[in-house]
Structure 1
Amino acid sequence: MKVLLYFEGQNVIGKSGIGRALSHQKRALASVGIEYTLDPKSTDYDILHINTYGPKSLLLVNKAKKMGKKVIYHAHSTEEDFRNSFIGSNQLAPLVKKWLVKLYQQADHLITPTPYSKKLLRNYGLTQPIAAISNGIDLKRYYPDARKEAAFRKHFGLSKEQKVIICVGLFFERKGILDFVEIAEKMPEYTFIWFGDVPMASIPRNIRKIVKKDHPQNVLFPGYIDGDLIEGAYSGADLFFFPSYEETEGIVVLEALASQQQVLLRNIPVYEGWMIDRKNCYMAEDNQIFLTLIRELVNHRLPNLSMEGFRTAQSKSINQIGKELEAVYQAVLDVPYDHQMYAKVVK
């Protein structure tokens, strides 16, 4: 079989979780020997696996259906995770939902990252088969590396003793950026770093002001950073703190787990079944408890759960995701496939 992987708007959202999902898909397919192309002009493919939601995406879906190709839509986005993001996102959210449903209805099969996002899609009235398949993680890339960790500390002028709390995400209110800054202000003895970027003109004024100037001195916004520095930050920090209010999975959580980092999350429905408080992470729901947990964790007064978290990441490795995608592709093409694997992702 041959798959056309399509991603519209690389320049706009290529640095987001969806952008990294495409990279993971390519490696996942390669790991199980499935041929793929990224050329939307191609016609010699069997399945269109589409990741994005713009007008070009819809045109490509229509073209594929006219050619009799099978269409799989990767439902990374929902109305819920569109809210509290860009300027006007809350007002546009109902329209976005209608647009997403229109696109998703064109597919022969849907893939979405978690059972939680699958439940949201069912609540939209979508009736096609839906597989809950993690976006996956490249374990080798994020394995702790002393050289990368030293480069991270040196780049930001951090001593070995300096306690550092990091987060990775776009500058969206739903990501918990306001809470991150508020908590940092009450903990001036620690350094808080928020990695990520988004066009400033696209976000609300209050968020823009916080990122540009109205934040405590112990908060850093270095923008989007990849490669050794971000990988060193994941494992070289003292804590990964992700106070997001809404996710369909949270690739950055997988990256932190793969880095064998301590992880502190907001207790939200998307983590049900795979992230468990006091087992492979710590969770809270309000800032006062976050404050207490951060102090306890960075000073090693709570059990270190990083290896349990790493085992969770291992269960979502690129190779495993490749096998799960292959089972869906084979089922869509109605060729012999691993029924047990397929049952696992559509249950």
Structure 2
Amino acid sequence: MFSSATKIKGQGVGSAYTELIKLLQKHFADKIQVSINKLGVADISHYHTIDFKFFLSTFLPGRGRKIGYVHFLPETLEGSLKIPQPFKQIFFWYLITFYKRMDHLVVVNPCFIKDLERYGIARENITYIPNFVSKTEFHELTPARKEALRQKYGIAQGRFTIIGTGQVQERKGVPDFIELARRLPQFQFVWVGGFSFGKMTDGYTQLKKVVADPPTNLLFPGIVEREQMNAFYNLADVFLLPSFNELFPMSVLEAFSCGVPVVLRDLELYRAIIAGHYLAGKNVAEFEMCLKKLADQPQLLKQLHEKSLEEAKYYSEDNLAAIWYDFYREQTETV
């Protein structure tokens, strides 16, 4: 394994990488020997991040099958980072060049296979394996525990609460989340996450002002440790992610696993993989309608709660463990 994903907190790439390492250690310790960021001879070299030193390592002997994990594409980085020209084009060129150095790529959403083909990567060299989360770490808590958590974070019992998670940036739709808080003062809004890339974050100046002085019904706890995230999901009635562009965010799976009803922006990628298990909105007005509907219709809220738990079964650790093992085994058999 080659990764620097855990160096920067509060990003989904690190969460996905951490979950996979734990899965392999738990299920296949006697079948798969894993080393991390070491240049020994290997059957498989699995690259999770695109560090230049990792790119250089692909030219060394003994790499075995080179597997690249596609966590982002040039188009998914738009609205995330402010990269001035000509550096943006150079970086995007490097990203695709890195992917082309791989013998095989893994995507977390099937919609992105056609995008990689457009960049000149053969379909037969791409495999779809979705993200997953551990039920041990992300699960529904008892009503009493949820009540205690609300007390801890100063959220009134019975107040309809909406949570969003991820980096505070334009692409994540944080400005829409803020606008919803202003339009719906009767609801409590919580956004867990921060500026993982500092001033490079797109929209940093304006968003920083709001984070420093938010509406009274909007809480920004900042970047929190992954171990604390289960608590934040459980104090919410609804999970809302208004992102404009994603691959397959870990946060959606974490919300599913906790049984939290999910509201997302109406994107093709979600329709392709989790259709029927969430409510969708195209803009602030439609998100507002969704939230009001859920607050006013307890039965609908309960239905979405059940759909979240239902979908979590497919994206469970146990289910994905077998898929990953079969994939690695097939790669070692590839000549």
Normalising to structure 2: TM-score of the pair? 0.90
Q: Distance in 2 between matches of 1:148 and 1:94?
A: 49
**Matched residue pairs, number?**
326
Question: One-letter code of the match for 2:170?
Answer: E
In structure 2, the residue corresponding to 1:74 is in which secondary structure? strand
Distance 2:86 2:282 in 1: 26
Q: Compute the displacement of 1:9 (Å).
A: 5.2
Query: Match of 1:78?
Result: 73
Corresponding residue of 1:170: 167
- 2:324 aligns with 325
Q: How far does residue 332 in structure 1 lie from its aligned partner after superposition?
A: 1.6
Structure 2 unaligned segments of length 5 or more: list them: none
| 1:138 aligns to 2:123 (yes or no) | no
Partner of 2:315, secondary structure, is coil
Aligned-pair CA distance for 1:149: 2.3
Deviation at 1:306, TM superposition (A): 1.8
Whole-Å Cα distance in 2 between the matches of residues 44 and 223 of structure 1? 41
- Would you say the 8 A contact 2:161–2:190 is kept in 1? yes
Task: Please state how far the C-alpha of 1:256 moved relative to its aligned partner.
Answer: 0.4
Matched, 1:185 2:199: no
Shift of residue 47, structure 1, vs aligned partner: 0.6
Percent identity (aligned): 23
Q: Helix, strand or coil: the match of 1:73?
A: strand
- Secondary structure, aligned partner of 1:57: helix
Q: Give me the CA root mean square deviation.
A: 2.2
Corresponding residue for residue 202 of structure 1: 200
Structure 1 unaligned regions, length at least 5: 336-347
User: Mean alpha-carbon deviation: is it higher for 180-189 or for 83-92?
Assistant: 83-92
User: Residue 62 of structure 1: which of 55, 59, 63 is its match?
Assistant: 59
Change (3 A) 1:228 1:112: closer
Q: Secondary structure of 1:325's partner? A: helix
- State the 1:302 CA deviation: 5.7
Answer whether contact 1:148 1:228 (CA < 8 A) is retained. Answer: no
Cα distance in 2 for partners of 1:150, 1:42 equals 49
Measured in 2, the distance between the counterparts of 1:295 and 1:27 equals 39
Distance of aligned partners of 1:228 and 1:29 in 2 relative to their CA distance in 1, 3 Å threshold:
closer
CA distance in 2, matches of 1:248, 1:205: 26
Instruction: Assess if the C-alpha contact under 8 Å between 1:296 and 1:302 holds in 2.
Output: no
**Matched-pair contact (CA < 8 Å) for 1:144–1:232:** no
- Deviation, 1:44, is 4.3
- Secondary structure, counterpart of 1:62 in structure 2: coil
Distance 1:97 1:31 in 2: 36
Deviation larger for 91-100 or 126-135: 91-100
- Contact (CA 8 Å) 2:10, 2:167: kept in 1 or not? no
The offset of 1:265, in angstroms, is 0.4
Determine if contact 2:233/2:255 at 8 Å carries over to the other structure. Answer: yes
Q: 1:148 to 1:270 in 2, by over 3 A?
A: farther
Residues 281 and 306 in structure 1, CA contact (< 8 A), matched pair in contact too? no
Aligned equivalent of 2:49: 52
Greater shift in the superposed pair: 223-232 or 246-255: 223-232
Q: Deviations over 1:254-284 (max 9, x none)?
A: 00011111100001121122222xx311001
Amino acid at match of 1:222: P
Q: Partner of 2:264: helix, strand, or coil?
A: strand
* Residue number in structure 2 paired with 1:88: 83
2:105 and 2:228 map into 1 onto residues whose CA distance is 35
Aligned to 1:240: 239
Counterpart residue type for residue 75 of structure 1: V
What is residue 38 of structure 2 aligned with on the other side?
41
SS at match of 1:173: coil
Q: Which amino acid aligns with 1:139?
A: K
Aligned counterparts of 1:235 and 1:298: Cα–Cα separation in 2: 16
Cα distance in 2 for residues equivalent to 1:206 and 1:89: 19
> Could you tell me which residue of structure 2 aligns to residue 260 of structure 1?
259
Normalising by structure 1, what TM-score? 0.87
1:27 positional shift? 2.4
Tell me, yes or no, if the aligned pair for 1:32 and 1:323 is still in contact at 8 Å: no
The residue identity in structure 2 corresponding to 1:141 is E
| Letter paired with 1:15 | G
**Partners of 1:150 and 1:232 within 8 A in 2:** no
* Cα deviation 1:63-98 (Å, max 9, x = unaligned): 3xx225211000111111111012237975543331
Q: Which amino acid aligns with 1:195?
A: V
